[in-house]
Amino acid sequence: MSNQTTPNCTHARRALLSDPGHIADDIQQHLQACHRCTQFAHELSCLDTDIQTGLNIKVPDKLADRILLAKGVRQSRHSNRLGVWLKGVAASAALLMTSIGSYLYLSAPLLVEEIALAHVRDELHHLIDKDNIELAQLNNLLEPLNIRMRNTSHTINYAGSCKIHGSAGVHVVLQGERAPVTLLFMPGEHIKARKTIEDNSFKGVVLPLAQGSLAIVADKQETLEPYEQRIQEQLTTI
């Protein structure tokens, strides 16, 4: 083995630095014959192993699932938008005949059902949270809304305060039988009677509360009636 650096050494080292993952046959042959370049290749490989280890940080749990979930919801939203667009075309046609009626239709405020669905879609990542929240923690969050839950028959996967349509609400995700069930306590959204929610992916209900309303939303495969009944029984005003 040679200990002298030669033009071949420069070529070999450039090749190693340029593409460490692929060592061509002529470089391999040179390495076998050159002690210094073998050492260089070894040092480079050790350094790259360390760098690679450093760069290979842990990836968030279920990242791929979350990406696919978001894509599914986008598709569903897209098809809803298409429906809305078609309605818009119809409304435009109607505008020619009844401009006042169309104006009222287009300027209608957001419905509470739309607000609830939009919030669930915007925070889809909470559907796969597994924080295992204690009832006391949930009640701390609900306290400003003057309500509490006496008990809960479901695992609480997530609970947090968040802005819902401009008001400070509480977002809760329960472990359902088949899919997660989202509860949205919306103090700023007042309704007089129970309303139902449905789109391509989710279904649910919005119930009037003393202070605002409560939306219960889940995947279409989940049976919601038992939740609606139990949650109403478990909720109490402070």
Least Å distance between CB 172 and other proteins? 21
The 68-87 contact track toward other proteins, x by CB under 8 A, reads x-xx--x-------------
C-alpha dihedral over 78, 80, 85, 87, to 10 degrees? 170
Question: Of 17 and 110, which CB lies nearer to other proteins in the complex structure?
Answer: 17
Cα-Cα-Cα-Cα dihedral sign, residues 74, 216, 144, 138? negative
In this complex, which beta carbon is closest to other proteins, that of residue 54 or of residue 109?
54
Q: Does 7 bind other proteins (CB under 8 A)?
A: no
Choose between 39 and 98: whose C-beta lies nearer to other proteins.
39
Report helix, strand or coil for 138. Answer: helix
Longest dimension (CA), the chain: 93
146 phi and psi angles, rounded to 5 deg: 60, 35
x-or-dash string of contact with other proteins, 38-67, rule CB under 8 A = --x---x-xxxxxxxxxxxxxxx--xx-xx
Residue 19 interacting with other proteins (CB under 8 A): yes
- Least Å distance between CB 40 and other proteins? 6
Closest CA to 120 of 49, 28, 230, 218: 218
Beta strands in 143-228 (DSSP E): 147-149, 156-164, 167-174, 181-186, 195-198, 202-208, 213-219
How many residues bind other proteins, per CB under 8 A?
Answer: 35
User: Interface with other proteins by CB under 8 A: which residues?
Assistant: 5, 10, 13-14, 17-22, 40, 44, 46-60, 63-64, 66-68, 70-71, 74
